[in-house]
Structure formats: structure tokens, C-alpha cells
Amino acid sequence: MRDRHPPKQSSAGSKARTATTRRGNGTRPLKVGETVRHALDNILRRGEIHDPELAKYNVTVTEVRMAPDLAHATIFVTPLGGQKGREMLKELKRCAPMLRTEVAQVVKMRHAPELHFQLDESFEYASSIDQALAAPNVKRDLKKEEPKAKSDFDSDYDSDDDEA
């Protein structure tokens, strides 16, 4: 009588496959993260979570970073208008189990990732860089460096015109 179960792989083959998965060098975490971002954005925009406290906030999901094993998702959010971010974050963390359930229904995965919310501070960082570049002393320094020497390409181009 034949055995119904296929033979088990050697431990070396199993370890090699696991090591590749653990590294997370592939595009799978990126693709899943983007899918989760779209799903969460739709869930929050449509108000599919019937929570009056969470409904007060217009949440923008800016990025989702997946762990290499796809078990955890770090979700970067920002409130529309940038106000009351801490309160919004508290409500999102409170509703994380409900949001995880909703994401699991939309994104077809073996296991739904655990959701971890963080405020996206990249906009504030970009704003601080803009303010620094707008400072008078920086503008003055940038104007000093403005005149550029002709590049080699420009001088080659000019010499071709002289020959013709």
C-alpha cells in the first residue's frame, strides 16, 4: 500500500528555504504592504469600522511597512490637516483588532498581519528642511554658488558650431 503523505524534505532544503524567507530581500513584503495600505485606506475612507470616536478623524495612510515574515505591519498615518495626531493614533491603536479583521477579509493571506500604527513625521521633516532652505543666510549662500562654469559638453558643442 502506498503512503498518502509525500516524503519529507531533507533538513538542509528546509533551512535554505527558511533562510531566504527570513531575509525578506524579495518584493513580496513591498507588494503586500501596498495591498494592505490600499485596503486600510478604503476601510477608513468608507467608514466600514462603526466606531464614533474613530469616525471623527480623517485618516491618511501614507505607508505600510511589512515585516519580512508578513506577520506584522507598521502603518504610518497622518490626520488630514495635521491636527490632533496623538488622539487619532490612540483611537487607531484601540481599533486595531477590528481593523485587522477588516483587512483580513479584503487581503487574502494565510494569516492577517498584526497592525502597529505610527504617526508619519516625514511631512514635518520635509517642512523643517523647507524652512531651513528659506532662511536668509542659506539663500545668500546658495546665490553665491549659482554661477556655474561651462561643462565639457557645452564647450564641445560650441566648437562644433565653429567648424560648420
Q: In 3D, which of 74, 101, 104, 103 has the Cα closest to residue 89?
A: 74
Evaluate whether 79 touches 92 at the Cβ level (below 8 Å): no
For 44-80, write each residue's pLDDT tens digit.
Answer: 888 888 888 888 888 888 999 999 999 999 999 988 8
Rounded Cα–Cα distance for residues 39 and 124 (Å):
25
Evaluate whether 64 touches 34 at the Cβ level (below 8 Å): yes
Question: Both 105 and 52 in a single domain?
Answer: yes
For 103-138, write each residue's pLDDT tens digit.
Answer: 998 888 888 899 999 998 877 777 778 777 777 877
Question: Both 67 and 110 in a single domain?
Answer: yes
Question: Both 26 and 12 in a single domain?
Answer: yes
Residue located via cell numbers 494569516? 111
- Quick check: pTM over 0.85? no
Kindly state the cell numbers that stand for 85: 495626531
Kindly state the cell numbers that stand for 33: 504592504
Question: Both 64 and 137 in a single domain?
Answer: no
> 147 is in which domain, residue-wise?
121-164
Residue 42 neighbours by CB under 8 Å, 6+ apart: 48, 106
